[in-house]
């Protein structure tokens, strides 16, 4: 730890955990920060290590932190780099969700996508996941990270939390991973130490209450609100849970945990919370709590609003064009106002059009491309999705060639197939190439090109 912790922070944490416990907490800043990843169950990837994250079956600890930019498997979406404590969300979902087929889940503050990609893996392409981010630039990062998951049951939106009041009693589960003071990131990010103050804690707590107030009407009666932060203080954590119980009529829901996990259960008067401390778990600071909405919670009426346009289904006459590209079983193809065609699970076609009336959809299922008369121009997202046709021409690249592809410096390929080819690494799609015989065109989007030196 290069920077001393703020005195006010020390005082607050000591009041919560005691002086002796704080000594161990402070010493944890001298330890090497653990690196963990969560594998994508739909991509080919050998287990990264034999050190599992106890509360998430897809989570692994790495012995050291590699340069992820120089691993083509990372770009193919074979795994997601995620802090281990945050993976506890899987354990909570596993206790709460008993039927996935018709479930609707909202990740309200979703960027950059760690928890949304976890939810997508958990759902296994069933139900509906709406991943939202209010900041436009961050929403597009979220879109890209979810596209690497490859699922066709995901919608990405760019909305303020209050916009969801137009969807009363809609979601079965809402996750609010709230903007917070970031105390749990102190060990990883020294800038978070400089930005911390008691005033900022108060501002965050007030903002969190506003977000929660805006989103509760969208939760179904009997549904679950999951509230999390990456901080330690009671004002942003257990006090907010107490407020939800007292003022909003929610019921705090206990989660079963194993003693050997060393997760600290935080008890309020009528509430349960789960705190991760870096001196107790192999992970960073994190807090999460589950609450259930009761029937007595006041609801609001649906409002009339239409900010989007319908997503018309692609003309059936055009379907033969898509068959060489896309697995079409149980899939609907929808076209947006830009002409981009999206593949979404057929049982979500009506839901997608409904959501598009009230929200700004920037991604729907899998963007598969555009149609130029009878010619398909593929979208990069299709290359990363398991919707791509099994018999689509592909060329497997070794690590160096894969990196050159990702740097857009791949000079040639050894393939007799002309036209469109999928570039793969370890069996997973990286993106599209077009072999013109005398040259190849690399269709990796410029914004995803790697810039660092290849080695």
Show which residues are catalytic.
Answer: 230
The answer to whether the beta carbons of residues 379 and 369 sit under 8 Å apart is yes
Q: Report the alpha-carbon distance of residue 277 to residue 287 in Å, rounded.
A: 9
CB atoms within 10 A of CB 26: 14
- Shortest CA distance to 81 belongs to which of 124, 113, 51, 109? 113
Crossing angle of helices 198-215 and 238-248, in 10° steps, is 40
Q: Report the alpha-carbon distance of residue 172 to residue 119 in Å, rounded.
A: 13
The answer to whether the beta carbons of residues 79 and 66 sit under 8 Å apart is no
Per 3-state DSSP, the chain is made up of helix, strand and coil in percentages (nearest 5) of: 35, 25, 40
Q: Which of helix, strand or coil describes residue 102?
A: coil
Backbone angles phi, psi at 410, to 5 degrees: -75, 115
Q: Report the alpha-carbon distance of residue 21 to residue 103 in Å, rounded.
A: 41
* Eight-state DSSP code of residue 260: G
Q: Which of helix, strand or coil describes residue 205?
A: helix
How open is the CA angle 316-320-322, to the nearest 5 degrees?
A: 95
Q: Report the alpha-carbon distance of residue 398 to residue 401 in Å, rounded.
A: 5
The answer to whether the beta carbons of residues 152 and 344 sit under 8 Å apart is yes
DSSP-assigned beta bridge partners for residue 332: 344
The answer to whether the beta carbons of residues 200 and 250 sit under 8 Å apart is no
Q: Give, in order, the Cα–Cα distances in Å from 386 to each of 48, 113, 351, 361, 426.
A: 21, 19, 22, 22, 14
For strands 264-267 and 171-177, give the pairing: unpaired
The answer to whether the beta carbons of residues 252 and 222 sit under 8 Å apart is no
- Quote the tokens at residue 214: 């805006």
Count CA atoms within 13 Å of residue 165 on its CB side: 14
In the sheet that 375-378 helps form, which strands lie side by side, from edge to edge? 331-335, 341-345, 366-372, 375-378
Strand ranges, E, within 293-418: 331-335, 341-345, 361-364, 366-372, 375-378, 394-396
């Amino acid at each position: 730890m290069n920077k001393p912790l703020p005195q006010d922070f020390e005082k607050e944490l000591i009041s919560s955990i005691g002086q002796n416990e704080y000594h161990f907490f402070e010493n944890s800043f001298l330890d090497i920060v653990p690196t963990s990843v969560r594998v994508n169950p739909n991509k080919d990837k050998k287990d990264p290590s034999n050190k599992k994250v106890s509360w998430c079956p897809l989570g692994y600890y790495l012995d050291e932190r590699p340069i992820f930019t120089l691993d083509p498997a990372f770009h193919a979406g074979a795994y997601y780099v995620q802090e281990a404590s945050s993976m506890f969300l899987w354990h909570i979902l596993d206790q709460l969700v008993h039927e996935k087929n018709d479930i609707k889940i909202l990740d309200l503050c979703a960027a950059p996508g760690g928890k949304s990609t976890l939810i997508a893996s958990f759902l296994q392409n069933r139900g509906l996941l709406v991943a939202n981010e209010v900041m436009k630039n961050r929403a597009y990062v979220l879109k890209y990270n979810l596209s690497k998951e490859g699922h066709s049951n995901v919608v990405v939106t760019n909305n303020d939390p209050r916009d969801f009041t137009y969807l009363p009693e809609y979601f079965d589960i809402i996750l609010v991973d709230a903007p917070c003071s970031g105390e749990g990131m102190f060990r990883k990010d020294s800038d978070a130490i400089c930005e911390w103050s008691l005033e900022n804690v108060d501002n965050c707590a007030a903002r969190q209450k506003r977000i929660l107030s805006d989103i509760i009407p969208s939760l179904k009666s009997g549904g679950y609100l999951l509230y999390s932060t990456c901080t330690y203080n009671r004002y942003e954590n257990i006090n907010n849970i107490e407020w939800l119980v007292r003022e909003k009529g929610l019921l705090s829901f206990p989660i079963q945990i194993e003693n050997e996990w060393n997760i600290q259960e935080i008890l309020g008067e009528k509430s349960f919370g789960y705190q991760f401390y870096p001196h107790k778990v192999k992970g960073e600071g994190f807090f999460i709590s589950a609450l259930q909405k009761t029937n007595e919670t006041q609801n609001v009426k649906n409002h009339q609003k239409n900010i989007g346009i319908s997503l018309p289904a692609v003309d059936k006459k055009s379907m033969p064009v898509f068959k060489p590209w896309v697995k079409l079983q149980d899939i609907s193809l929808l076209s947006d106002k830009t002409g981009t065609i999206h593949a979404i699970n057929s049982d979500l076609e009506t839901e997608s059009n409904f959501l598009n009336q009230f929200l700004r959809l920037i991604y729907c299922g899998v963007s598969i491309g555009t149609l130029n008369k009878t010619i398909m121009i593929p979208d990069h997202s299709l290359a990363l999705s398991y919707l791509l046709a099994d018999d689509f021409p592909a060329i497997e690249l070794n690590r160096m060639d894969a990196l050159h592809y990702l740097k857009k410096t791949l000079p040639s390929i050894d393939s007799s197939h002309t036209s469109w080819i999928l570039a793969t690494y370890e069996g997973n799609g990286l993106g599209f190439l077009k072999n013109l015989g005398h040259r190849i065109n690399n269709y990796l989007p410029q914004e995803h090109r790697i810039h660092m030196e290849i080695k």
